[in-house]
Amino acid sequence: MRIATNNLKRLCRKQRIRLNDLLEQAGVSRTAYYSLTRKESVLPKSVCRIADRLNVSPLRFLDDPSAPVKRIRELQARTDRICRQYPGCDRDVVFRTLMNLDLPPVERLRKALLRGSQVDLHR
């Protein structure tokens, strides 16, 4: 499944938003977007192989629950606001921190310990 750039541009025009503004608001770099548009499929190869084996479109077994998608978009918007307010901060760190705030404290601690054990402090 490819990105239909003409359809995307048409949607942008319909909603009166420039493509660059869309990418910025979605937290997608121009480089990432153009890389995606050049790909034959934006889905992982494993998903495509499963679909090919079943002779169906991947859409037949992919699910897009709207609540998590909506939450991610809210977090992206909040991340953008924080990064505008504090220009020197790392966007990925802000986003990950906001996501972790939804987790129970024990799970946050577990993730922090796991992440901390992966960092080499003596470089």
Q: Are residues 39 and 68 in the same domain?
A: no
Picking from 19, 35, 62, the residue at the C-terminal end of a domain is 62
Is the predicted pLDDT of residue 45 greater than 90, yes or no?
no
Q: Are residues 74 and 122 in the same domain?
A: yes
The pLDDT-based confidence of 82 (bands split at 50, 70, 90) is very high
Q: Are residues 72 and 118 in the same domain?
A: yes
Specify the pTM. Answer: 0.44
Q: Are residues 48 and 89 in the same domain?
A: no
- Say what the pLDDT of residue 112 is: 82
DSSP for 61-119, written as a single string = T----HHHHHHHHHHHHHHHHHHHHSTTS-HHHHHHHHHHTTS-HHHHHHHHHHHHHH-
Q: Are residues 45 and 73 in the same domain?
A: no
Q: Mean pLDDT across the stretch 25-43?
A: 89
Average pLDDT over the chain reads: 87
Question: Domain containing 120: what range?
Answer: 63-123
What is the count of structural domains for the chain? 2
